[in-house]
Chains A and B, each alone.
Chain A
Amino acid sequence: MIEDKNFDEKLLNSIKERKVAPKPRWHFILKEYAIWIAGAAFLIVSAVSFSLVIHMVRLFRFREFGFYQKAVHGPLEFLMLIIPVFWLVMLALFVAIVYYDFKKTKKGYRYPPLVIIGAALLASAGLGVIFARAGLGERVDDAIGKSAPEAFYKHVINPRIDFWSEPEKGRLMGLVIFKKSDDEFGVLDIRKKEWLLYTEGSIGNRDMIEVGRPVRAFGEAISENEFRAEEILSFGPGRGFIMKMRPMPGTPDMMFGEPGRGMIIPGEEGSPKKFFYRAY
């Protein structure tokens, strides 16, 4: 039993003396709204992560498995190349934040963790597919590729950049800087080195070879700056990263513009540098 017989009166008097007043209703409404808005924001961010996962795997061609399998040293390295680990980790992180946020809502505790996490994943996936279809994943990857620190992007976010940047091992990736003919064109790799690519007899759609666009080639380096391609592949994620190598318009020896918005001006025969793309 409560020993103090005047407990209730003393307590009420103490409330009065200390001039304690109930917190206003808007204070709690605002808090609840803030939790819901933060949850919705993190759900959108996790959906964007999901759209990036889609973007990273969407352009993956089945035959690329062969390249990766031959080149890697073990299953872990293989998985790291084919699975967009960074974006999956981001997705897991944001879904976890959505889960903790939802648990903070008034009735959030009533739902088991699996239901909340499952619903958050489903919502992220649904929204992520819509975002991916609208091209958001691609645009975000382009933007991150352009602005993220170079080493972080190519080692952590998109390790395939590194994988495709080993011409001595038969893998070359870069930006098409000039096109001499259907089977001969110039590429600037991520180390800003120019290569002349020969594609005669190689597999792959030639339409993707367009000045100012990134491209990947699998084959063999036949000299310091010449590469014979066995296969030409369209460029997947990392377009923004590679596009940031484009010189600014007005650079004296090479000028680039958006594909289809310029013209190739042929120079001296056999000199790649004399071909340049002039934007207008």
Chain B
Amino acid sequence: MLSIDQAGKMSDEELLLSSLGDQDNFLYLIQRYKQKLFNFIKRITSVADEDAEDILQDVFLKVYLNLNDFDHGFKFSSWIYQIARNQVISNHRKLKARAEGYKTPLDEEMVRGLASGLDMEKLADAEILKLNIRKILKGLSEKYREVLVLKFLEEKSYAEISDIIKKPIGTVGSLMNKAKSEFRKELEKQKVTL
């Protein structure tokens, strides 16, 4: 098994290859991605922490089973997010029944990024924005919520989003525009005063 220092210097792709040789090295990939994916799952589904952890377990299990399917023409992070998204979709109905609401923390930088992306820089009060963004995101349809979360909360590029949601970049662009417009409409609908 690799030492923590050795693993720390390795790229995701190198860790993947080393996991194929030694199962224990997969631990470093779990540690690298568990929190990111946990937050992602919570942000796009609003499930309880316990359910999110169950999904996360299934995600890592699938990743491990499909290590040989990883194509080096992709970014590992896009691949693992794609698997997480698929797992969320396949658990969709079960999760909806036990939805708990968006409680994943949003840091100020993310909130400002979202406000800036939505041309709402004037909305300076990050705390108010944080609370309302959760409410608004919940009111959006999944396809719009998903791209907004990936772009502004997970800070993914359009190319990465394209690989994660398996749609052409052009489609991601138009989805993003519609999502922003839906976000503003939802804002109006909920009469949120920011």
Contacts and interface: CB of A to CB of B under 8 A. Distances in A.
- Is the pairing of A and B real? yes
A12 to B, nearest CB: 5
B34 A25 contact: no
Task: Tell me if B's interface is mostly helix, strand, loop or mixed.
Answer: helix
Given A2-B35, A15-B64, A106-B71, A22 B20 contact: yes
A111 interface: yes
B5 interface: no
B61 to A, nearest CB: 7
Interface in B35-54: 35, 38, 49-50, 53
A110 to B, nearest CB: 6
A15 B57 CA distance: 10
Contacts of B64: 15, 20, 22
B67 interface: yes
A250 interface: no
A177 B68 CA distance: 67
A109 B168 contact: yes
Q: Please classify how large the interface on chain A is, using the bins under 10, 10 to 19, 20 to 34, 35 or more.
A: 20 to 34
A59 B53 CA distance: 67
B128 interface: no
B61 A20 contact: yes
B145 to A, nearest CB: 20
A23 B57 CA distance: 18
Interface of B: 20, 23-24, 26-27, 30-31, 34-35, 38, 49-50, 53, 56-57, 60-61, 64-69, 71, 73, 162, 166-171
Interface of A: 1-4, 7-9, 11-12, 14-16, 20, 22-25, 27-28, 106-107, 109-112
10 contacts: A2-B56, A12-B27, A15-B26, A22-B66, A23-B65, A23-B69, A28-B68, A109-B166, A109-B167, A109-B168
